[in-house]
Amino acid sequence: MTFEEWSHLPEDEAGELVDGELVEAEMPSFVHEVVVIWLGAVLRAWAVARGGLVAGSGLKLRVSSRRGRMADLAVYFRRGRVQARGVVTVPPDIAVEIVSPDPQDQRRDRIDKLDEYAAFGVRYYWLVSPDLRTIEILELGADGRYVHAQNLSAGTSSAVGCEGLAIDLDDLWREVERAETEEPDT
């Protein structure tokens, strides 16, 4: 599959492009989606006030000549940097992945995407673990590799590289707890 074919797939046919093949995307859990919406709202309020934008998991990023990825959230500090349509070739300032408990998905987020996002030039890579109740913020170093810049787990915290952003982690984890424990209506 080419990048052009990948960019024209129907929205309901999700997947990432890996070495010319469409790799089926994980089926996100309810908890995963709750975290995406909660964190997306917080990041959006912060970014828009500074002239930036936040995109969701449908954004297709060309991370290399043979790979296309879809972060759970992509934050651009300035709107003017990214094209409006098609596969995006400009790295976001922040790529956020919500880490699921499945070992294959964890490997993809913690190994494959880590290397690919670094090579693509994503300045900050956030790994959010609802199970561990943590956010790891990695920052791209001058050598092109990520270093752990910050680990967040409780309280209200600022985030490295995001002046003025306050993340109420206790509120986020309460929301996760509600999503994990509430019984569905029958």
Domain membership of residue 20 (yes or no) is no
Q: SS3 for 67?
A: strand
In the chain, how many domains are there?
A: 1
* CATH number reported for the structural domain that contains residue 122 in this entry: 3.90.1570.10
Range of the domain at 131: 27-181
CB atoms within 10 A of CB 185: 4
Q: What residues does 69 pair with on adjacent strands?
A: 61
Domain membership of residue 134 (yes or no) is yes
pTM, two decimals, is 0.90
Is pLDDT of 186 > 60?
no
What pLDDT shows up at residue 104? Answer: 83
* 55-80 residue pLDDT tens: 998 889 999 988 889 999 999 998 77
Q: Which helix (H) or strand (E) holds 30?
A: helix 30-48
Domain membership of residue 50 (yes or no) is yes
* 12-49 residue pLDDT tens: 677 777 888 778 777 788 999 999 999 999 999 999 99
Domain membership of residue 62 (yes or no) is yes
